[in-house]
């Protein structure tokens, strides 16, 4: 620990020296400008489509106050001829909207209609008493369906839920709720008439008056929502919740939940951490290039201490940032730290990999940008669906959104979101210490050679069985990430290609991951007999499958009813029987042994074909 | 001049060889794909019919109605392909709901003083309730209008036959400008990296002795970065076209993007020459960028907005507005020529 602190102190001194005198003044000025600018923009309405549409209006048209529309006052005749020429996209008068039926004009009409609808609602709210203007109020109630798992923590956190309208007695023929429910084979689909018949059979003759809330009670809700409706224009408020229990919904005043809050939260936390970790990489690379790191290695400190020591100051700065942002947003500091510390460690581990692998700044910049966008996608993507789909819990950001909504999440949801990030950090530190030597750091080789080299250095040559198994286990999360990224890419393709492409990509990626360890040993001539190759290939396949299963199990215990996971399970796309894994991996490894590492790509093709045939077979049986 | 071209060729080669451009393109492709996924997600909220169109989701709603005015609502739901079962009371409906045979229960009482206080019982599960509510959204809105009319309140401009505009606005005001301006950001980073690399490897000293001016050395780096940016911008225009997204005024849009890339490159060259090390230069670049992007918001039209409107085919814009952005480029260029030599030779 003492050594780590010494290293950290040295790092801080270095950073101070860098930003001294005039540079510090410039930094402070720029930071001040940035904060001031953000403040001003925040207090204006942020409109992204300024002046997108040109609209001609007559003098009796309703006024348009929306910066998306360029409004020109023009009489009807002139306006219509402008419309003909395409100088304006729409003409609006007291009667209605005239479009020139080009695409642009129709989009403009859509936008204007939405805008006018809003104005009209505000008008009727103003002109008529509330009961006449907003005659429909809907009270939302929830009822558990049999296949839902009980959400203990969430319920406990909401003690003020009133009892449902009538006591619900669970009939005995309903199976107890359990997460594994969704994995059972679905019931035989019933025809429309069968359902009708069953519904009729279930109907008894009892009748009771449904309880009704008094009209005056919901008036208050309408007034409240109308007030909100009148203020918020382009951007919804910092609120991500959608339909909570006992909400009163007024259909015309309800706006769809725009997942903007998620994006804002991410950027507030993640961007500063990215900035700070950029300093870490810069400093690391610079000392690497100037060989100061190598000098440090000859000092009586371990490699881990060097890495941690250099990282620590930046980690501390990041923690300050997290605390600061949480304070500003009014969140719970401990929860904020619990959620964002894993995220921070994850970002740092990515930057450590970049710094260890690349020698030129240019490559580093690009790899960082790539990493930044992938991380943002990983964090923001699932969180977009907070409260919509439980799969969103694979992103820790979802937890943050829940936190700011004042809702709580379960412990297993917390672990699902953060464990992968922490594992990545742990793995990176482990690999980092293994490859932290002069030859690796100073070597100037293509990326794939660097990766292979790092993997070879990570494996313990004395315990090949364990190392190979462990290696393929560690690669599983990476495989998942690559597959996720591939899904993002394939959305550009038409549907049939999408499915085919994903089938092929996932098979190829898995085959590479399973055989990588053995092939790298072969490349370094660490394996001699085909028996060894076969044994390690089997172990590698086993390790891969174990972790794959474990991850899916974890996912399923949280996402009890996700069709996505269900499809994966029944389709067997990810969870293939062990035999197949062993056979395909063995084929790849033995072919590579026989024909040399140069033919590794061909061996992958062979293994992938076997794997693919199997997958298609499984799919074929299903369809 | 030949010396300049030799240098330019060297820089371009290094950009293509080190696959930097490949990285850049992958990054942009990734961002674009991801945004379109989000777009589909957002569309599902705004335009619930897309859920049912794409996935053929059918829901079944149990209705307990005590009023006569419920008939229109049933019709609206029927039009939207929602199956309806009528129940005599909540208890019966709940039993059926628990068997999973209906997806939601609607309790529609008689109107009291023109107000209908409906109760909607939905599954607690997030994914399900969202789908249910999104599908019910339109019939409910129409029913609300029906009730309003019954109260003799009329909303004007009800149906103008416009198209849902969200995708259109999102595409032209976010995706297109991002794709057009991202290459400029990359150009700035490339300039800083290549310039500071010369300082860190101490190769500037050698170049001082070569028969080219220092300004030319740096300019060759800037030109290479700008050319790379231009290639990407043109590529995006083509790729978007293939995807059915037409960039109107393409020549002007490309020109604007290249002008901005050039201005960014010149500014970053000055920053890199001033600081001489990458760490500080990149940091300042990022900060300056944030300030500039924030500042440009107050311009009318801002670069972002100008690209949006040009690409969407606004007829009122042209050379004049694009030309305006050449002014900062010229100013920065002149500054660069004045200070570059002094900056290179100044001590760290």
Exposure of B313 in the CB half-sphere (CA atoms within 13 A): 15
> Who among A23, A34, A282 is closest to B290 (CB)?
A34
Distance CA B21, CA B14 (A): 10
Q: What share of chain A is helix, strand, coil (3-state, %, to 5)?
A: 70, 5, 30
State the pairing for strand pair A97-99/A90-92. antiparallel
- Residue B185 CB neighbours (<10 A): 21
- Indicate the pLDDT class of residue A474, thresholds 50, 70 and 90: confident
Contact B176, B307 (CB under 8 A): yes
- Indicate the pLDDT class of residue A427, thresholds 50, 70 and 90: confident
Report in angstroms the alpha-carbon separations of A146 from A72, A176, B125.
Answer: 59, 7, 11
My answer on whether B33 and B67 are in the same domain is: no
My answer on whether B22 and B84 are in the same domain is: no
Considering only A460-474, A488-502, B249-263, which range has the smallest mean pLDDT? A488-502
| Through-space distance between the first and last CA atoms of chain B, rounded to whole angstroms | 29
Distance CA A364, CA A285 (A): 9
Report the pLDDT value the prediction gives residue A209, as an integer from 0 to 100: 46
Residue B159 lies in a domain: no
Report the pLDDT value the prediction gives residue A238, as an integer from 0 to 100: 39
> Who among A139, A143, A367 is closest to B117 (CB)?
A139
Residues 532-591 (A) with a CB less than 8 A from some CB of B: 561-562
Contacts of B263 (CB under 8 A, 6+ apart): B325, B328, B329, B332
Largest CA-CA distance found in chain B, in angstroms, rounded: 96
- Top mean pLDDT of A46-50, A356-360, A458-462 is at A458-462
Sign of CA dihedral A436, A516, B16, A374: negative
- Residue B113: closest C-alpha in chain A: A131
Distance CA A54, CA A69 (A): 6
Q: What is the pLDDT of residues A306-323, one digit of tens each?
A: 888 889 999 999 999 899
Residue A548 has pLDDT above 70, yes or no: yes
Q: What is the pLDDT of residues B174-219, one digit of tens each?
A: 778 888 888 898 888 888 888 888 887 777 777 767 677 777 888 8
Report the pLDDT value the prediction gives residue A174, as an integer from 0 to 100: 33
Report the pLDDT value the prediction gives residue A210, as an integer from 0 to 100: 46
Contacts of A78 (CB under 8 A, 6+ apart): A56
CB contacts, 8 Å: A109 with chain B:
160-163
Residue B189 lies in a domain: yes
User: Prior bond to B24 cis, omega within 30?
Assistant: no
Nearest to B28 by CA among B192, B237, B205, B219: B237
A184 touches chain B (CB under 8 A): no
A137 touches chain B (CB under 8 A): yes
Q: Which two tokens stand for residue A603?
A: 């061996």
Residue B340 lies in a domain: yes
Structure-derived torsion over alpha carbons of residues B97, B101, B106, B110, reported in degrees to the nearest 10: -100
Contact B162, A112 (CB under 8 A): yes
Average pLDDT per run of 10 along chain B, which is 348 residues long?
Answer: 79 72 71 67 55 62 82 84 85 84 86 83 71 80 86 76 74 83 87 84 72 80 90 86 82 93 93 83 81 76 85 84 88 88 71
Distance CA A73, CA A92 (A): 10
User: Do B37 and A99 count as a contact with CB atoms less than 8 A apart?
Assistant: no
Query: What one-character-per-residue DSSP string does A409-454 give?
Result: --HHHHHHHHHHHHHHHHHHHHHHHHH-SHHHHH----HHHHHHHH
Mutant choice from B72, B73, B105, B126 vs A, greatest count of A C-beta within 10 A: B126
Query: What one-character-per-residue DSSP string does B3-72 give?
Result: HHHHHHHHHHHHHHHTTHHHHHHHHHHHHHHHHHHHHHHHHHHH-THHHHHHH----EEEEEE-SSTTHH
CB contacts, 8 Å: A131 with chain B:
113-115, 151
Q: Which two tokens stand for residue B322?
A: 């694009």
Q: What is the DSSP letter of A177?
A: P
A289 touches chain B (CB under 8 A): yes
CB contacts, 8 Å: B46 with chain A:
256
Chain centroid offset of residue A96 CA: 43
Largest CA-CA distance found in chain A, in angstroms, rounded: 91
Nearest to A432 by CA among A278, A527, A310: A310
Mutant choice from A199, A206, A280, A314 vs B, greatest count of B C-beta within 10 A: A199
Contacts of A434 (CB under 8 A, 6+ apart): A454, A457, A458
Residue A167 has pLDDT above 70, yes or no: no
Exposure of A344 in the CB half-sphere (CA atoms within 13 A): 26
CB contacts, 8 Å: A215 with chain B:
112-113, 115, 117
My answer on whether B214 and B314 are in the same domain is: yes
My answer on whether B175 and B226 are in the same domain is: yes
Residue B298 lies in a domain: yes
- Computed on alpha carbons and rounded to an integer, the radius of gyration of chain A in Å comes to 30
Q: What is the DSSP letter of A214?
A: -
Considering only A197-201, A338-342, A515-519, which range has the smallest mean pLDDT? A197-201
Pick the last residue of a domain from B95, B124, B150: B150
User: Do B193 and A360 count as a contact with CB atoms less than 8 A apart?
Assistant: yes
User: Do B294 and A117 count as a contact with CB atoms less than 8 A apart?
Assistant: no
> Who among B37, B88, B305 is closest to A488 (CB)?
B37
Report the pLDDT value the prediction gives residue B255, as an integer from 0 to 100: 94
CB contacts, 8 Å: B37 with chain A:
381, 488, 491
Distance CA B285, CA A106 (A): 42
What average pLDDT score do residues A59-67 get? 83
Domain that holds residue B112: 49-150
**A98 membership: H or E segment, kind and range:** strand A97-99
Return the percentage of chain B with pLDDT > 70, whole number. 84
Q: What is the pLDDT of residues B74-90, one digit of tens each?
A: 888 888 778 888 888 88
Return the percentage of chain A with pLDDT > 90, whole number. 3
Q: What is the DSSP letter of B201?
A: T
My answer on whether B236 and B272 are in the same domain is: yes
Sign of CA dihedral A468, A469, A472, A477: negative
Residue B324 lies in a domain: yes
- Top mean pLDDT of A206-210, A355-359, A502-506 is at A502-506
> What are the two backbone dihedrals, phi and then psi, of residue B157, each rounded to the nearest 5 degrees?
50, 40
3-state secondary structure of A258: coil
- Residue A4 CB neighbours (<10 A): 19
My answer on whether B189 and B301 are in the same domain is: yes
Shortest distance, CA A496 to any CA of chain B (angstroms): 15
CB contacts, 8 Å: B194 with chain A:
362
> Who among A19, A50, A215 is closest to B112 (CB)?
A215
Q: Between A and B, how many residue pairs show a Cβ–Cβ distance under 8 A?
A: 377
User: Do A492 and B33 count as a contact with CB atoms less than 8 A apart?
Assistant: yes
Report the pLDDT value the prediction gives residue A341, as an integer from 0 to 100: 92
CB contacts, 8 Å: B244 with chain A:
none
CB contacts, 8 Å: A192 with chain B:
83
3-state secondary structure of B124: coil
CB contacts, 8 Å: B173 with chain A:
48-49, 52
Distance CA B176, CA B307 (A): 8
Distance CA B344, CA A575 (A): 60
3-state secondary structure of B122: strand
3-state secondary structure of A518: helix
CB contacts, 8 Å: A70 with chain B:
316
**Residue B108, strand partner residues:** B65
Q: Total structural domains in chain B?
A: 2
Residue B37 lies in a domain: yes
Contacts of A537 (CB under 8 A, 6+ apart): A514, A515, A518, A582, A585, A586, A588, A589, A590
What average pLDDT score do residues A59-80 get? 86
A114 touches chain B (CB under 8 A): yes
> Who among A37, A141, A492 is closest to B291 (CB)?
A37
A213 touches chain B (CB under 8 A): yes
- Indicate the pLDDT class of residue A384, thresholds 50, 70 and 90: low
Report in angstroms the alpha-carbon separations of A615 from A507, A552, A575, A609.
Answer: 9, 18, 10, 10
What residue ranges do the domains of chain A occupy? 53-133, 257-447, 455-623
Mutant choice from A115, A144, A200, A210 vs B, greatest count of B C-beta within 10 A: A210
A275 touches chain B (CB under 8 A): yes
Pick the last residue of a domain from B102, B128, B150: B150
User: Do A96 and B45 count as a contact with CB atoms less than 8 A apart?
Assistant: no
Q: What is the DSSP letter of B115?
A: B
Considering only A228-237, A372-381, A447-456, A533-542, which range has the smallest mean pLDDT? A228-237
User: Do B143 and A136 count as a contact with CB atoms less than 8 A apart?
Assistant: yes
My answer on whether B177 and B288 are in the same domain is: yes
Q: Rounded to the nearest 10 degrees, what angle do helices A361-383 and A260-289 cross at?
A: 160
Residue A585 has pLDDT above 70, yes or no: yes
Q: What is the pLDDT of residues A259-294, one digit of tens each?
A: 555 566 767 788 788 878 878 888 888 788 777 877
Instruction: Please report, for the domain that includes residue B111, its CATH number.
Output: 3.40.1710.10
3-state secondary structure of A89: coil
A427-461 burial, b at 16+ Cβ within 10 Å, e below that, comes to bbbebbbbbbeeebbeeeeeeeebebbbbbbbbee
- Indicate the pLDDT class of residue A390, thresholds 50, 70 and 90: low
Distance CA A341, CA A276 (A): 14
Mutant choice from A203, A214, A275, A373 vs B, greatest count of B C-beta within 10 A: A203
A165 touches chain B (CB under 8 A): yes
Report the pLDDT value the prediction gives residue A171, as an integer from 0 to 100: 33
Exposure of B182 in the CB half-sphere (CA atoms within 13 A): 26
What average pLDDT score do residues A225-236 get? 60
**Residue B118, strand partner residues:** A138
Report in angstroms the alpha-carbon separations of A488 from A491, A566, A583, B29.
Answer: 6, 20, 30, 10
My answer on whether B25 and B67 are in the same domain is: no
From start to end of B144-218, where are the E strands?
Answer: none
CB contacts, 8 Å: B145 with chain A:
252
State the pairing for strand pair A90-92/A53-57. parallel
- Top mean pLDDT of A37-41, A256-260, A410-414 is at A410-414
Report in angstroms the alpha-carbon separations of A388 from A242, A518, B58.
Answer: 8, 43, 18
């Amino acid at each position: 620990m003492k050594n780590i602190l010494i290293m950290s102190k040295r790092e801080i001194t270095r950073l101070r020296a860098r930003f001294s005198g005039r540079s510090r003044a410039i930094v402070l000025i720029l930071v001040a400008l940035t904060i001031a600018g953000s403040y001003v923009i925040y207090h204006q309405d942020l409109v992204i489509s300024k002046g997108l549409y040109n609209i001609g209006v007559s003098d009796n048209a309703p006024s348009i106050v929306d910066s998306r529309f360029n409004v020109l006052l023009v009489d009807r005749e002139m306006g219509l001829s402008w419309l003909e020429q395409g100088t304006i996209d729409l003409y609006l008068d007291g009667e209605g909207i005239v479009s020139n039926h080009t695409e642009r004009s129709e989009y403009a009409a859509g936008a204007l209609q939405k805008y006018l609808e809003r104005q009209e609602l505000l008008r009727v709210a103003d002109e008529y008493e509330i009961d006449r203007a907003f005659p429909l109020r809907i009270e939302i109630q929830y009822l558990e369906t049999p296949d839902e798992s009980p959400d203990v923590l969430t319920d406990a956190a909401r003690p003020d839920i009133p009892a449902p309208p009538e006591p619900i007695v669970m009939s005995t023929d309903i199976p107890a709720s359990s997460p594994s429910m969704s994995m059972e084979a679905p019931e035989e689909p019933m025809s429309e008439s069968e359902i009708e018949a069953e519904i009729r059979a279930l109907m008894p003759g009892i009748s009771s008056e449904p309880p009704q809330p008094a009209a005056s009670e919901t008036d208050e809700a309408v007034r409240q929502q109308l007030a909100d409706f009148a203020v918020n224009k382009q951007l919804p408020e910092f609120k991500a919740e959608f339909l909570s229990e006992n909400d009163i919904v007024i259909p015309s005043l309800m706006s769809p939940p725009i997942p903007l809050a998620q994006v804002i939260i991410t950027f507030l936390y993640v961007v500063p951490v990215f900035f700070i970790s950029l300093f870490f990489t810069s400093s690391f690379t610079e000392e690497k290039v100037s060989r100061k790191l190598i000098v440090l290695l000859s000092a009586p400190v371990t490699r881990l201490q060097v890495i941690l020591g250099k990282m620590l100051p930046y980690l501390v700065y990041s923690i300050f940032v997290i605390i600061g942002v949480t304070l500003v947003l009014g969140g719970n500091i401990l929860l904020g730290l619990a959620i964002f510390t894993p995220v921070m460690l994850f970002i740092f581990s990515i930057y450590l990999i970049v710094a260890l692998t690349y020698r030129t700044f240019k490559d580093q910049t690009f790899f960082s940008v790539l990493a930044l966008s992938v991380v943002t996608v990983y964090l923001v993507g699932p969180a977009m669906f907070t409260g919509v789909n439980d799969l969103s819990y694979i992103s820790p950001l979802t937890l943050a959104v829940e936190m700011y909504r004042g809702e709580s999440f379960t412990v297993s949801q917390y672990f699902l979101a953060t464990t992968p990030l922490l594992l990545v950090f742990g793995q990176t530190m482990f690999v980092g210490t293994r490859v932290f030597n002069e030859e690796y750091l100073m070597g100037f080789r293509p990326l794939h050679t660097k990766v292979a080299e790092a993997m070879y250095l990570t494996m313990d040559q004395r315990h090949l069985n364990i190392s190979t198994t462990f290696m393929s286990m560690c690669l599983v999360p990476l495989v998942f990430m690559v597959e996720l990224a591939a899904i993002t890419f394939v959305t550009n393709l038409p549907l049939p290609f999408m499915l085919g492409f994903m089938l092929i990509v996932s098979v190829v990626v898995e085959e590479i991951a399973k055989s990588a360890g053995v092939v790298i040993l072969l490349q370094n001539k660490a394996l001699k007999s085909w028996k060894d190759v076969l044994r390690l290939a089997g172990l590698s396949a086993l390790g891969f499958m174990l972790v794959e299963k474990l991850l899916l199990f974890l996912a399923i215990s949280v996402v009890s009813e996700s069709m996505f996971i269900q499809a994966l399970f029944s389709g067997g796309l990810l969870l293939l029987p062990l035999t197949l894994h062993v056979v395909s991996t063995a084929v790849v490894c033995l072919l590579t042994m026989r024909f040399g590492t140069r033919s590794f790509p061909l061996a992958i093709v062979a293994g992938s074909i076997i794997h693919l045939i199997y997958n298609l077979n499984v799919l074929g049986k299903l369809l | 001049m030949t010396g300049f071209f030799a240098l330019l060729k060297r820089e371009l080669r290094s950009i293509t060889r080190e696959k930097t451009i490949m990285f850049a393109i992958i990054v942009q492709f990734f961002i674009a794909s991801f945004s379109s996924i989000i777009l589909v997600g957002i569309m599902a909220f705004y335009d619930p019919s897309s859920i049912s169109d794409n996935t053929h989701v059918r829901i079944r709603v149990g209705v307990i109605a005590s009023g006569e005015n419920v008939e229109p609502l049933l019709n609206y739901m029927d039009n939207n392909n929602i199956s309806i079962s009528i129940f005599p009371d909540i208890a019966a409906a709940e039993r059926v709901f628990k068997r999973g045979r209906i997806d939601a229960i609607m309790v529609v009482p008689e109107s009291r003083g023109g107000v209908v206080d409906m109760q909607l019982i939905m599954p607690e599960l997030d994914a399900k309730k969202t789908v249910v509510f999104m599908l019910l959204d339109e019939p409910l809105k129409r029913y609300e209008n029906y009730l309003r009319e019954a109260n003799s309140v009329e909303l004007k401009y009800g149906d103008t036959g416009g198209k849902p505009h969200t995708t259109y606005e999102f595409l032209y005001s976010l995706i297109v400008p991002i794709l057009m301006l991202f290459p400029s950001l990359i150009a700035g980073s490339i300039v800083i990296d290549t310039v500071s690399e010369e300082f860190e490897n101490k190769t500037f000293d050698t170049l001082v002795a070569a028969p080219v001016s220092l300004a030319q050395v740096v300019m060759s780096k800037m030109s290479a970065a700008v050319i790379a940016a231009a290639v990407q911008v043109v590529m995006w225009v083509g790729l978007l076209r293939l995807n059915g997204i037409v960039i109107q005024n393409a020549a002007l849009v490309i020109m604007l993007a290249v002008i901005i890339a050039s201005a960014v490159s010149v500014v970053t060259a000055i920053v890199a020459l001033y600081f001489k090390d990458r760490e500080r230069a990149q940091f300042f670049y990022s900060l300056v960028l944030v300030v500039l992007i924030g500042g440009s918001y107050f311009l009318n039209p801002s670069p972002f907005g100008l690209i949006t409107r040009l690409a969407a085919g606004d007829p009122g814009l042209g050379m004049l507005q694009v030309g305006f952005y050449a002014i900062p480029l010229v100013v920065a260029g002149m500054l660069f020529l004045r200070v570059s030599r002094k900056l290179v030779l100044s001590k760290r």
